[in-house]
Amino acid sequence: MLFKIAVLASGGGTNLQSIIDSIDNGSLNCKIEMVIGSKEGIYALERAKIKGIKSYIISKEKYGNKTSDKILELTKGKVDLIVLAGYLSILEGNLLKEFKDKIINIHPSLIPSFCGDGFYGEKVHQAVIDYGAKVSGATVHFVNEEADAGPIIMQDTVKVMDDDDAKTLAKRVLEVEHTILP
């Protein structure tokens, strides 16, 4: 049986690409049924188009507090797992109930540090540097009702260098994300 997934993205889609590449090289046995973007014009949707993967746009601007319901409409009965690959909106409601322990997220820090509300993108890496942490990394975890609080599936680390800024640290952490998410 082929495992079917939906990938949700909000940006360039490099984590989506890591999943695509892992499927193409045979190290991941699944099929991306759909890509759901959080807004128009993100490169993740272009990556889906290039691979012939159905894609949809479900934006908070258009759907507001019904965003998770709309995602549930698209995914229910069609996928086995939802993968948040750089998806910046918080999921809620019936979607979390229907897909309990079947939604995973990648976060650019070692949860439980530097996570939760407001910790996304370069803000995470800047907080790591400001705190003086000596290691950072990425975490794959299950999604539940609290932001970045679901059970941890996998983590990997990177050393924080003395001359790091948020951009250089983010680049190294992203390489780890591309390895552990698939």
pLDDT, one tens digit per residue, over 95-108 is 999 999 999 999 99
Which two structure tokens, joined as six digits, stand for 122? 């370069």
Closest by Cα among 84, 91, 88, 81 to 120: 88
Residue 127 has pLDDT above 90, yes or no: yes
pLDDT, one tens digit per residue, over 27-67 is 999 999 999 999 999 999 999 999 999 999 999 999 999 99
Sheet bearing 81-84, strands edge to edge: 54-57, 30-37, 3-9, 81-84, 103-107, 135-142, 152-159
Separation between Cα atoms, residue 51 and residue 47, nearest integer Å:
6
Mean pLDDT of the chain: 97
pLDDT, one tens digit per residue, over 155-165 is 999 999 999 99
Residues annotated catalytic, as ranges: 107
Q: What is the pLDDT of residue 1?
A: 78
